[in-house]
Amino acid sequence: MLVAILQGLISGALVGGMYATVGIGLTLVFGVVRIVNFAHGSFLMAAAYASWLMYERYGIDPYLSGLILVPSFFVLGVAYYWGLMRPMVGKSLLAQSLLTIAVGYVIDNTALGLFSSQMRVVAVPYAVASLSIGPIALPVTRLIAGGVGLCATTIMYLLLWRTGMGIAVRAAAADRPIAEAMGINTHSAQAVVTGIGIACAALGGVVLLPIFAASPSMGADFTFLSFLIIVLGGMGSFFGALVGGVILGITENLGATFFDGSTGHMLTFVLFVVLLVFRPYGVLVRRR
């Protein structure tokens, strides 16, 4: 019993590290561009399918495909900003939301059309391998997810708080016209941030694929999950997102351990509702 709890805690926390990265991707784009990207999870799903496809067709290891996919999705995110989001900057919340919801809808249904609703798994040999520490067995794929998530979060933190680009991005988020007046190309800054946000989603899709398999419903699931992390951790907070991701990973995993997979999933929804009751303005805390 105790071992099961400990096991659930640790492997939940490891996946949670990756969830945090995905959540940060969403909150970063919202914080800087001020547009809620409801298609966030759909990009994650698209990357997961792309990774699966590369494995099926060419036998490329899913982690290796990430080396191609994550930069590609960065470029895709930059294009997404210039093509679709930029015209919506400063428009009504409804107009912006409808646009990103529509993009998500198109991606989700394209995936459904191309791949059907069937779950797609990558049958890599190490998917079942695990590292034993005493009685606790930690799946290798989850260890990788935790490690990659922590690294990605750290890199993004340093990028945002320790570089000139980070200053430009934060200034653009704080006061766009004045940032422009100080010589900052704010649209470029916002495009880069959108690229990073989408790359985070892609990283999540690639790294979580060997753990969960790809399915078209992943899109909506992960958009929701990202929101939950943001609400849990507080908008725009890196540390908060990390904590939120870990709490979420643990909730889901313990639920799955003691009940079943769908109960674990449901528990996250319960968590969301409880949170909204007790912290109704959670999402908006940092908004000015």
Partner 1 sequence: MLLEVRDLRTGYGAVEVVHGISFELAAGSMVGLIGANGAGKSGAMHAICGLLRHTGAVLLDGQDLARMSAHDRARAGLIMVPEGRRVFPGMSVRDNLLSASLHRRVRGRAQQTLDTVFHTFPRLQERLNQAAETLSGGEQQMLAIGRTMMGQPRVMVLDEPSLGLSPLFVQEVFRVIGALRETGLTILLVEQNVHHCLELSDYAYVLEQGHIVLQGAASDLLVDPRVRAAYLGTSNQPSEAEEVRQ
The CA–CA distances, whole Å, from 73 to 57, 163, 171, 198, 204 equal 20, 22, 25, 6, 12
Neighbour tally for 132: CB within 10 Å: 8
Does 174 help bind partner 1 (rule: CB under 8 A)? yes
Verify binding: residue 178, partner 1, rule CB under 8 A.
Answer: yes
Q: Name which of 86 and 265 has its Cβ closer to partner 1.
A: 86
As a whole number of angstroms, the distance between CA 285 and CA 84 comes to 27
Q: Contact with partner 1 (CB under 8 A): which of 1, 94, 123, 181?
A: 181
**Phi, psi (deg, nearest 5) at residue 120:** -115, 120
Closest distance of CB 170 from partner 1, Å: 6
Residue 198 identity: I
Q: Which of 182, 270, 274, 284 binds partner 1 (CB under 8 A)?
A: 182
Q: Are 11 and 138 in contact (CB under 8 A)?
A: yes
If one asks whether residue 90 binds partner 1 (CB under 8 A), the answer comes out as no
| Size of the residue set binding partner 1 (CB under 8 A) | 18
Residue 175 interacts with partner 1 (CB under 8 A): yes or no: yes
134 lies in the site for partner 1, by CB under 8 A: no
Q: 57 vs 288, which CB is nearer to partner 1?
A: 288
Q: Is residue 184 involved in binding partner 1 (CB under 8 A)?
A: yes
| Beta carbon of residue 76, minimum distance to partner 1 (angstroms, whole number) | 25
Alpha-carbon separation of residue 219 from 47, 101, 238, 254 (angstroms): 10, 11, 23, 23
- Least gap, CB of 197 to partner 1 (angstroms): 19
> Which member of 83, 90, 125, 183 binds partner 1 (CB under 8 A)?
183
Q: Which of 1, 277, 278, 288 binds partner 1 (CB under 8 A)?
A: 288
Instruction: Give 82's DSSP letter.
Output: I
SS3 176: helix
Alpha helices, H only, 34-163 = 40-58, 62-80, 93-115, 140-162
Least separation, in Å, of the C-beta of 32 and partner 1?
12
Query: Counting Cβ atoms within 10 Å, is residue 124 exposed (0-12), middle (13-18) or buried (19+)?
Result: middle
Q: Which of 136, 137, 140, 167 binds partner 1 (CB under 8 A)?
A: 167
Binding of partner 1 by 34 (CB under 8 A): no
Residue 164 touching partner 1 (CB under 8 A): yes
Tell me how far CA of residue 107 lies from CA of 44, 56, 111, 208, in angstroms: 10, 21, 6, 19
| Residues at the site binding partner 1, with contacts judged by CB under 8 A | 164, 167-168, 170-171, 174-175, 177-186, 288
